[in-house]
């Protein structure tokens, strides 16, 4: 069966006074129907740009240089603005990183949700208000008085629940969650992720979860893609990637976070490269202790090394071996 979402060789650039920032450099990614896929990597790796490109919201001065984004076989890149708006009302939804900036500060919570129902479902105002209260209860806000409150009166966790509710107003087939727990404490993070997982299952949604949290990936994702400097360097089933990481960058990420009973953490040396001055070889080579001469001059392809496992690294044959 074809995936719900297919991203093929996507390149996105931002034009700045310093030069061209190559945010994505040939990214390919599939998300199956009702599947939860994680996208993980350091800040600046291009994770959020993928989410914005899928929903057609790459901010100026950014442009999609090349590639394809297919939703149910439909080309999103070449769709008109009106068609893209229609898809965002029905099949696509995005949860932004910071709910405090995504919510309208001068509108009551209930009115914001009701407006979304009116636009996406075409219902009248009274019906939309009822749906808004019901939706708040569905995302764990059972007090109907919250509908009459303004965003500044809510906690961070409640605002994130409202944002999840806002995304659900169009009954999307694909939900993109961009760092949905980054501003929350550990307890609230767990609650929000449990809510997303339950709603995804209940509503039969596919979820693309963008995060830097390997613990979240390990608990909630079936498939994971590891990003570095605008490239996917490793991808596969979550079990394979976390238990048997192959790319030195993935190994470094796992060494730098606490998973299970591990006691010692080892940081990755160096910093993410300047995305304006892209080198011709593997982008991770300057930070990699196992880099070879070929890594400095030729970028490895993302190829299969076994069942449900892809890696872009010359340590595994000629940049990977096809399966």
Provide the sign of the torsion angle of the four alpha carbons 71, 73, 78, 81, taken in this order: negative
Residues 6+ apart with CB under 8 A from 235: 29, 223, 224, 225, 226, 241, 302, 309, 310, 311
Confidence band for 278, pLDDT divided at 50, 70 and 90: confident
Residue 322 in this model has a pLDDT that exceeds 60: no
Is residue 79, in this structure, part of any structural domain at all? Answer: yes
Q: What is the mean pLDDT of the chain?
A: 90
pLDDT of residue 323: 35
pTM over cut 0.75: yes
pLDDT, tens only, 64-102: 999 999 999 888 887 767 778 888 888 999 998 888 888
Is residue 29, in this structure, part of any structural domain at all? Answer: yes
Confidence band for 319, pLDDT divided at 50, 70 and 90: low
pLDDT, tens only, 107-165: 999 999 999 999 988 899 999 999 999 999 999 999 989 999 999 999 989 999 999 99
Is residue 151, in this structure, part of any structural domain at all? Answer: no
pLDDT of residue 321: 41
pLDDT of residue 54: 93
User: For residues 113 and 297, what is the distance between their CA atoms, to the nearest angstrom?
Assistant: 52
Residue 10 in this model has a pLDDT that exceeds 80: yes
Residue 262 in this model has a pLDDT that exceeds 80: no
Domain count, the chain: 1
* Phi, psi angle pair for 12, to nearest 5°: -130, 135
pLDDT of residue 260: 65
pLDDT, tens only, 192-219: 999 999 999 999 999 999 998 888 999 9
Mean pLDDT of the region 250-271: 81
* Phi, psi angle pair for 322, to nearest 5°: -65, 150
Residue of 8, 29, 45 whose CA lies nearest to 179: 45
Between 4 and 318, the higher pLDDT residue: 4
The CATH number that applies at residue 81 is 3.40.50.300
Is residue 128, in this structure, part of any structural domain at all? Answer: no
Mean pLDDT of the region 174-178: 94
User: For residues 234 and 242, what is the distance between their CA atoms, to the nearest angstrom?
Assistant: 11
Is residue 53, in this structure, part of any structural domain at all? Answer: yes
Residues 6+ apart with CB under 8 A from 202: none
Between 320 and 103, the higher pLDDT residue: 103
Is residue 48, in this structure, part of any structural domain at all? Answer: yes
Is residue 112, in this structure, part of any structural domain at all? Answer: no
Between 258 and 168, the higher pLDDT residue: 168
- The range of the structural domain enclosing residue 23 comes to 5-91+172-311
User: For residues 297 and 286, what is the distance between their CA atoms, to the nearest angstrom?
Assistant: 12
Residue 13 in this model has a pLDDT that exceeds 50: yes
Is residue 54, in this structure, part of any structural domain at all? Answer: yes
């Amino acid at each position: 069966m074809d995936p719900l979402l297919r991203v093929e060789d996507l390149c996105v650039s931002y034009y700045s006074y310093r030069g061209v920032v190559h945010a994505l450099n040939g990214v390919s990614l599939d998300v199956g129907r009702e599947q939860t896929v994680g996208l993980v990597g350091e800040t600046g790796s291009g994770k959020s740009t993928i989410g914005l490109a899928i929903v057609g919201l790459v901010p100026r001065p950014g442009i999609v240089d090349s590639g394809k984004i297919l939703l149910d076989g439909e080309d999103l890149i070449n769709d008109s603005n009106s068609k893209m708006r229609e898809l965002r009302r029905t099949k696509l939804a995005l949860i932004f990183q910071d709910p405090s900036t995504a919510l309208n500060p001068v509108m009551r919570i209930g009115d914001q949700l009701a407006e979304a129902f009116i636009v996406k479902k075409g219902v009248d105002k009274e019906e939309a208000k009822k749906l808004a209260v019901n939706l708040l209860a569905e995302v764990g806000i059972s007090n109907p008085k919250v509908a009459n409150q303004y965003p500044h009166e809510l906690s961070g966790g409640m605002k994130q629940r409202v944002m999840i509710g806002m995304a659900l107003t169009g009954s999307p087939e694909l939900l993109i969650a961009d760092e949905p727990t980054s501003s929350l404490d550990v307890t609230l993070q767990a609650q929000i992720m449990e809510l997303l997982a339950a709603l995804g299952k209940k509503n039969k949604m596919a979820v693309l979860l963008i995060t830097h949290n390997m613990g979240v990936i390990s608990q909630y994702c079936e498939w994971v893609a590891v990003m570095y400097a605008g490239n996917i360097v490793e991808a596969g089933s979550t079990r394979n990637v976390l238990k048997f990481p192959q790319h030195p960058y993935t190994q470094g990420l796992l060494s730098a976070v606490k998973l299970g009973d591990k006691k010692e953490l080892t940081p990755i040396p160096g910093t993410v490269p300047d995305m304006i001055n892209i080198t011709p070889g593997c982008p991770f080579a300057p930070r990699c202790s196992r880099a070879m001469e070929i890594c400095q001059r030729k970028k490895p392809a993302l190829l299969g090394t076994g069942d449900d496992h892809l890696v872009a690294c010359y340590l595994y044959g000629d940049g990977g071996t096809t399966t």
